[in-house]
Amino acid sequence: MEGTIFSCVILGLAVMVGVVTPGVDAARAFFVFGDSLVDNGNNNYLATTARADLPPYGIDYPTHRPTGRFSNGLNIPDLISEAIGSEPTLPYLDPELNGENLLVGANFASAGIGILNDTGIQFINIIRIFQQLQLFQQYQQRVAALIGEEQAQQLVSNALVLITLGGNDFVNNYYLVPFSARSRQFSLPDYVVYLISEYRNILARLYELGARRVLVTGTGPLGCVPSELAQRSRNGECVAELQRAAALFNPQLVQMVSSLNNEIGSNVFIAANAQQMSSNFISNPRAFGFVTSKVACCGQGRYNGLGLCTVASNLCPNRDVYAFWDAFHPSERANRFIVREILTGDTRYMYPMNLSTIMALDTRT
């Protein structure tokens, strides 16, 4: 029974690829790993408080309903899918991620996680990065059962991958409480070196699992998010200590990515500097059509930066004029500015090259 359904699916695909797009690959698969900046809803299937499953999350999403994305509308992976001509990635835990849907790719990200296993422990049941990589392995077995081992491998090696880690290792670990275990163990510079060495192991594992084009993002402007302004800023200036953390982390990420590429002998990994991308609209919001980059659209307290975004929160009428949707996450419109730099930014933003260059390169070979 199951076998018959599968062979029908395979036959259908062969016809589609052969007839509709002769000689051209179907849209490239896309895989996403990381934290809440890129989670498309996995946490909705988990017993955790780190969820965006209630209104007003999703208020500007096509369905106007919450989906688990930490955004008023689309998030960064959605906008990358749009740019490469693919459907949005389904969360790996979504029961609809089955059959032909598997060939679009999958989103393994889980809000609250970090590079380290002890990051986000307060969220209890979330998919830590080593588990995300295990699920990627499981995914590949499922796809191999559907289209064959060789085709599955090709799908993965031709795919685009996005991995976003690091922010939570600061805000939900090192700086979560005064005198946290990690801050007693490491000075900030030593902690950053440790994080980068663990991030390198994670990327090496992704390579082992067959990934060949990987966008790697570090932390955003940690000290400028409304949550930090609310808790630590005196008069609205970005919090220096967290800005220092991001300023140490992001350049070392670029170095690590370069050395990994040198070792492999190919530009598999591309560093995307999310701090740089966001700092433009944070330091000059009006030039980007935002009325503020300090106050979150949804929240309460100073800068709307305290607590969670819920139905009871203040909600701005026009989400497009706020750089931050909630206390931590950019609005859809801010995400569009970030993805614009991913696509066309110069080497200050995308090292060694941007996504439009990658797409041009990869269709030529």
Ligand X SMILES: *[C@@H]1O[C@H](CO)[C@@H](O)[C@H](O)[C@H]1NC(C)=O
Which residues share a beta bridge with 351? 271
Q: Which is nearer to ligand X, 275 or 293 (CB)?
A: 275
Distance of CA 209 to the CA centre of its chain: 19
Q: Which is nearer to ligand X, 6 or 186 (CB)?
A: 186
Q: Which is nearer to ligand X, 217 or 227 (CB)?
A: 217
Q: From the list 16, 130, 208, 289, which residue makes contact with ligand X (rule: CB under 6 A)?
A: 130
- Smallest gap from Cβ 130 to ligand X, in A, equals 5
Q: From the list 7, 259, 347, 363, which residue makes contact with ligand X (rule: CB under 6 A)?
A: 347
Cβ atoms < 10 Å from Cβ of 336: 17
Report the DSSP pairing between strands 269-272 and 214-217: parallel
Of the listed pieces 176-184, 210-218, 259-267, 339-347, which binds ligand X according to CB under 6 A? 339-347
**By CB under 6 A, residue 359 contacts ligand X:** no
Q: From the list 32, 90, 103, 116, which residue makes contact with ligand X (rule: CB under 6 A)?
A: 116
Q: Is 36 a known active-site residue?
A: yes
131 neighbors 108 (Cβ within 8 angstroms): no
- Smallest gap from Cβ 66 to ligand X, in A, equals 30
Q: Which is nearer to ligand X, 198 or 362 (CB)?
A: 198
Q: Which is nearer to ligand X, 116 or 216 (CB)?
A: 116
**By CB under 6 A, residue 320 contacts ligand X:** no
Give me 162's structure tokens. 């996005």
Burial class (CB in 10 A: 0-12, 13-18, 19+), 135: middle
Q: Which is nearer to ligand X, 198 or 320 (CB)?
A: 198
Touching ligand X, residues 196-215 (CB under 6 A)? 198
- Smallest gap from Cβ 116 to ligand X, in A, equals 5
Q: Is 64 a known active-site residue?
A: no
Give me 13's structure tokens. 């695909």
- Smallest gap from Cβ 118 to ligand X, in A, equals 8
Q: Is 94 a known active-site residue?
A: no
Q: Which is nearer to ligand X, 169 or 332 (CB)?
A: 169
355 neighbors 343 (Cβ within 8 angstroms): yes
111 neighbors 43 (Cβ within 8 angstroms): yes
Question: What is the b/e burial string over 214-235, where b = at least 16 CB atoms within 10 angstroms of the residue's CB?
Answer: bbbbbbbbbbbbbbbbbeebee
Angle at 29 (CA atoms; ends 25, 111), nearest 5 degrees = 170
Q: Which is nearer to ligand X, 38 or 165 (CB)?
A: 165
For residue 290, how many C-alpha atoms fall within 13 Å in the half-sphere facing its CB?
A: 27
Of the listed pieces 27-35, 289-297, 298-306, 346-354, which binds ligand X according to CB under 6 A? 346-354
Of the listed pieces 204-212, 254-262, 295-303, 347-355, which binds ligand X according to CB under 6 A? 347-355
- Give the span between the Cα atoms of 361 and 133, in whole angstroms: 27
Q: DSSP for 13-45?
A: HHHIIIIISTTSPPSPPEEEEESTTT-SSGGGG
> Hunting for tokens 């690091």 — which residue is that?
166
> Hunting for tokens 């688990």 — which residue is that?
68
- Smallest gap from Cβ 361 to ligand X, in A, equals 10
Q: From the list 117, 125, 283, 284, which residue makes contact with ligand X (rule: CB under 6 A)?
A: 117
- Smallest gap from Cβ 207 to ligand X, in A, equals 17
**By CB under 6 A, residue 353 contacts ligand X:** yes
Cβ atoms < 10 Å from Cβ of 85: 10
- Smallest gap from Cβ 128 to ligand X, in A, equals 7
**By CB under 6 A, residue 134 contacts ligand X:** no
Q: From the list 344, 348, 361, 363, which residue makes contact with ligand X (rule: CB under 6 A)?
A: 344
- Give the span between the Cα atoms of 349 and 360, in whole angstroms: 18
Q: Which one of the listed residues 39, 81, 326, 331 is annotated catalytic? A: 326
169 neighbors 242 (Cβ within 8 angstroms): no
**By CB under 6 A, residue 275 contacts ligand X:** no
Bond prior to 178 in cis (omega within 30° of 0): no
Instruction: Show which residues are catalytic.
Output: 36, 326, 329
Interface residues with ligand X (CB under 6 A) are 116-117, 130, 198, 344, 346-347, 353-354, 356-357
